[in-house]
A and B are shown apart, each in its own frame.
Chain A
Amino acid sequence: MNQVALLLAATLGAGTPLAIGSLGLLVNERSGVLNLGAEGVMLVSAVTGFAAAYHSGNEWIAFLAGAAAGAALAAVFGWLVIWLNTNQYATGLAVSLFGAGFSAFVGTGYVGRKLESGGEHSVPLLRDLPFVGTALFRQHPMVYLAMALAGAAAFFLYRTRAGLVLRSVGESPESAHALGYPVRRIRLAAVMVGGALCGLSGAYLSVVYAPLWVEGMVAGRGWIALALTVFATWRPARVLLGAYLFGGVTMLQLHLQAQGVQLPPQFMSMTPYVATIVVLVLISRNPLWIRVNMPASLGKPFFPGS
């Protein structure tokens, strides 16, 4: 039983960076902009966060720095895509590639450096509850922040006026424009929020999860976060669920190996990616369902006054 609890706990930790990044992308995509550069943004913020943690010794400063870096890179992307109307896919890819190179370059001085250890985080009293204590209450605060963010995102999108405006921009920017809303600024804001959250996720990876910097350490999590938003049909609660599922697959695979289960490790490592494809297929095959759930203007450029 204890093993299951430990596996659950590990799953929560592994799923958190995916959840935070994906929530950011969700807000981003709700405005109609698809940012394929998530991986690059996460990498740049991971190195920024690590550098900030290294020099300041404080992980919250690191998270802030990571979020700021992510927002900044996303703003560049946003400017190119929203004001200069460059192709969203190509620009996003450019961000990914640039982010990978830039983070490696900036990070060369930080490889092999150590951060002050944070020690074990847990919620006092609740941590000692049987099963639940181990599974849920011995986590870094960021894990709980991810859950809170999901709730906040849901509240924002469906219970506030601003959220309604955002969603309408995503569904039909032309109508929103006709109603007088500053569509481009709203999109930029959404893109920057997306970047900030991806940044937070990247900083969490390099400062808390595996407190090291190495180039490429995001290892495809940015792309999985993108897939997650589709998996979750752009709803925050489902994003959370999906993130834990994906985190769980990775941890389960390692867990089974440690148990002595004999499958070639490469096939076990494939499972998160194959699972993403399967999910994509299942979700996409009903065109009506996708249209109901997907922001209609996703990926399409907007020209005010055209």
Chain B
Amino acid sequence: MIRLEARPSPSRLAGILSPVIALVITVGVAAVLFLVLGKDPMRGLSVFLVTPWNGVRALTELGLKATPLILCSLGLALCFRSNVWNIGAEGQFLIGGIFGGGLALLVTVHPVALDRWGFFPLLVLAGALGGALWAAVVALLRDRFNANEILVSLMMVYVADLLLSWLVFGPWRDPKGFNFPQTMSFAAATGVPRLVPGMRLNLGFPLALLVAVATWLFLFRTYRGMQLQVGGPAPRAARYAGFSSRAALWISLLVSGGLAGIAGALEVAGPMGQLTPYVSNGYGFTAIIVAFVGRLHPLGCVLSSVLLAMFVIGGELAQSRIGLPAALTGVFQGVLLFSLLACDTFIQFRLRWRARA
């Protein structure tokens, strides 16, 4: 009889192997799916795993796509480590985009003596403010009224999406845009400075990396960071040590909301250059997977952001190059997360064969 038995201490080996095994399982499932669909599995895997890295433009596109994922997932890693289940990063992303876009619109209509580099910090601030405000609602409702943050933050996503739709169809609609739901294009001076001429990779990427380093320092090198990680999951024990789970709640939500908001603002002012109803592609939700695959560790978040960006880009390429259906990307993401969760069990538990007593 096979039993799961608790390990005396968490296994480091399993911790390292688990994401690798999960990735291998996902790749295996992918190969099987390709076969079932009548496509060459090696070609399919190559398009998904290899082509997105091929060339300078491909690399910059990977970086561009990974930037919002990195920012959002870092905030979520912080939240989840504190036992605060912020599922609404998508909504915070959208509101950050609205604030950032609103600022850009203001500057477009009333030009100010600022160039892109000067505008950048203002954009980041605006996005952070918007996202943090949206997350603050969730924090307040949980703090004052005990309302479950999962459900509240999720409902706020729908509200944010509809709010964006209203703004873009109504008060902020471009008067010269033939009544189409979009704002006017933002002035060039509000764009996010680009890093490589002719490519779309912008300042957001190094900013995201900086934030990753800062998050790592905060979580593993500061007292406050330690407090957060203990105060959240074990409030009563933490209180004896003077840690506050309330502080954990507010800090993690405000920070993760702010980071998601920055991601939104960068997306809107950067590659988009205007506000439309289609600001997000589910970055806030994908970031949840990213955070888990990255083991809630800042470096892991960066790497798994790139991994998942690769999945998305690979999915697009797979369509145009081998005719695979668009829905595959979601399947792979789900399988990756399932496998990871299953493999993670072996960090805390091990298999034991026991003869029947």
The answer to whether A and B touch directly, with their CB atoms under 8 angstroms apart, is yes
Do residues B166 and A267 form an inter-chain contact, with CB atoms below 8 A? yes
Nearest CB on A from B31, distance (A): 15
A18 to B284, CA, bound (A): 25
A 74-96 contacts with B by CB, 8 A: 76, 80, 83-87, 89-91, 93-95
Q: Tell me, yes or no, whether A98 is within 8 Å of chain B by CB.
A: yes
Q: Tell me, yes or no, whether A122 is within 8 Å of chain B by CB.
A: no
Q: Which residues of B contact A101 (CB under 8 A)?
A: 327-334
B 324-357 contacts with A by CB, 8 A: 325-335, 337-338, 341-342, 344-345, 348-349
Do residues A285 and B144 form an inter-chain contact, with CB atoms below 8 A? yes
Contact of A90 among B4, B170, B341 (CB under 8 A): B341
CB within 8 Å for A105 and B341 given contacts A84-B4, A85-B348 = no
Q: Which residues of A contact B165 (CB under 8 A)?
A: 266
Q: Which of B155, B327, B333, B342 has the most CB of A within 10 A?
A: B155
A 32-52 contacts with B by CB, 8 A: 36
Nearest CB on A from B220, distance (A): 21
Q: Which residues of B contact A155 (CB under 8 A)?
A: none
Of B48-56, B222-230, B285-293, B298-306, the one touching chain A: B285-293
A 97-128 contacts with B by CB, 8 A: 97-102, 104-105, 107-108
A94 to B328, CA, bound (A): 15
Do residues A84 and B345 form an inter-chain contact, with CB atoms below 8 A? yes
A108 to B319, CA, bound (A): 14
Of A60-68, A161-169, A222-230, A234-242, the one touching chain B: A222-230
A107 to B327, CA, bound (A): 9
Nearest CB on A from B253, distance (A): 15
CB within 8 Å for A100 and B146 given contacts A266-B169, A280-B152 = no
Contact of A285 among B4, B146, B342 (CB under 8 A): B146
Q: Tell me, yes or no, whether B272 is within 8 Å of chain A by CB.
A: no
Q: Tell me, yes or no, whether B147 is within 8 Å of chain A by CB.
A: yes
CB within 8 Å for A215 and B341 given contacts A85-B349, A274-B159 = no
B 215-238 contacts with A by CB, 8 A: none
CB within 8 Å for A93 and B288 given contacts A105-B325, A267-B162, A284-B145 = yes
Contact of A86 among B80, B335, B341 (CB under 8 A): B341
Do residues B342 and A84 form an inter-chain contact, with CB atoms below 8 A? yes
Nearest CB on B from A34, distance (A): 9
Q: Report the nearest B residue to A98, measured CB to CB.
A: B334
Q: Which residues of A contact B162 (CB under 8 A)?
A: 266-267, 269-270
Q: Tell me, yes or no, whether B148 is within 8 Å of chain A by CB.
A: yes
Q: Report the nearest A residue to B345, measured CB to CB.
A: A84
Nearest CB on A from B26, distance (A): 11
Do residues A98 and B331 form an inter-chain contact, with CB atoms below 8 A? yes
A86 to B343, CA, bound (A): 9
CB within 8 Å for A105 and B148 given contacts A80-B342, A94-B334 = no
CB within 8 Å for A266 and B166 given contacts A97-B334, A287-B146 = yes
Q: Report the nearest B residue to A34, measured CB to CB.
A: B150
Nearest CB on B from A223, distance (A): 6
Q: Tell me, yes or no, whether B87 is within 8 Å of chain A by CB.
A: yes
Q: Tell me, yes or no, whether A148 is within 8 Å of chain B by CB.
A: no
Do residues A94 and B338 form an inter-chain contact, with CB atoms below 8 A? yes
A273 to B335, CA, bound (A): 30
A100 to B155, CA, bound (A): 18
Count, chain B residues at interface, CB 8 A: 48
Q: Which residues of A contact B150 (CB under 8 A)?
A: 36, 89
Do residues A94 and B147 form an inter-chain contact, with CB atoms below 8 A? no
Q: Tell me, yes or no, whether A281 is within 8 Å of chain B by CB.
A: yes
Q: Report the nearest A residue to B164, measured CB to CB.
A: A266
Do residues B342 and A104 form an inter-chain contact, with CB atoms below 8 A? no
Q: Which residues of A contact B152 (CB under 8 A)?
A: 277, 280
Q: Tell me, yes or no, whether B6 is within 8 Å of chain A by CB.
A: yes
Nearest CB on A from B288, distance (A): 6
A215 to B282, CA, bound (A): 15
A227 to B153, CA, bound (A): 12
CB within 8 Å for A90 and B292 given contacts A102-B331, A277-B141 = yes
A 267-294 contacts with B by CB, 8 A: 267, 269-270, 273-274, 276-277, 280-281, 284-285, 287, 290
Q: Which residues of B contact A281 (CB under 8 A)?
A: 141, 145, 147
Q: Tell me, yes or no, whether B45 is within 8 Å of chain A by CB.
A: no
A290 to B159, CA, bound (A): 26
Q: Tell me, yes or no, whether B195 is within 8 Å of chain A by CB.
A: no
Q: Tell me, yes or no, whether A306 is within 8 Å of chain B by CB.
A: yes
Q: Tell me, yes or no, whether B154 is within 8 Å of chain A by CB.
A: yes
A interface list, Cβ under 8 A from B: 36, 76, 80, 83-87, 89-91, 93-95, 97-102, 104-105, 107-108, 215, 220, 223, 226-227, 230, 264, 266-267, 269-270, 273-274, 276-277, 280-281, 284-285, 287, 290, 303, 306
B interface list, Cβ under 8 A from A: 4, 6, 80, 85, 87, 141, 144-148, 150-152, 154-156, 158-159, 162-163, 165-166, 169-170, 285, 288-289, 292, 325-335, 337-338, 341-342, 344-345, 348-349
| 3 closest A-B pairs by CB | A101-B330, A98-B334, A104-B327
* Known contacts A93-B337, A267-B162, A284-B145; 6 further A-B pairs (Cβ under 8 A): A76-B338, A97-B334, A223-B155, A277-B152, A280-B147, A285-B147
23 contacts between A and B (CB under 8 A): A80-B338, A85-B349, A89-B150, A90-B341, A91-B338, A94-B334, A98-B334, A98-B337, A98-B338, A99-B334, A102-B330, A104-B326, A105-B328, A105-B330, A220-B158, A227-B155, A266-B166, A273-B155, A274-B155, A277-B141, A280-B141, A285-B144, A287-B146
